[in-house]
Amino acid sequence: MPVTLLNPRGQFHYRENRIAQRLKSMEGIVLGLLDTSKDNADIFLAEVERLLRAQFSIAAVLKIRKPISSIPAAFTEEFFGRCQVVVNAFGD
C-alpha cells in the first residue's frame, strides 16, 4: 500500500502575497503591540517599546492583549487604522 506524505507548510505565492513595504523612518509612527498572553510576552514587548522609544520619536503606542493565546485577537478599527508598525510577541 503506498504512503502519502503531506507538507504542513503549504505553499506561499510571492506574487499574490507580497511582503509589506518597509518604512523609510520610524519617527512619528504609531506602534502596535500584540501580546498573545504567552509567558514573558509582556516583558518582551515592554523592552521592545523601551528600545524603540529610546531610538525614535514614537507618536503613540496601542496595545492589545489576548486573554488566551489560542483565540484570535480582538483587534479594533483604531488599531488597524492607526498603527504603521505592529510587533507580535509569542513563544513557549
Residue 91 has pLDDT above 70, yes or no: no
Q: Which pLDDT band holds residue 20 (cuts at 50, 70, 90)?
A: confident
Query: Whole-prediction pTM value?
Result: 0.76
CA–CA distance, 59 with 21 (Å, rounded to integer): 20
Among the residues of the chain, which ranges form H helices?
41-55, 77-82
Q: Which of the four pLDDT bands, split at 50, 70 and 90, describes residue 90?
A: confident
Which residue shows C-alpha cell 518597509?
A: 22
Cell 513563544 -> residue? 91
Q: Angle 84-89-92 (CA atoms, 0-180°, nearest 5)? A: 165
- Is a pLDDT exceeding 80 seen at residue 67? yes
- Residue 37 in grid coordinates: 498572553
Burial class from Cβ neighbours inside 10 Å (0-12, 13-18, 19+) for residue 57 reads exposed
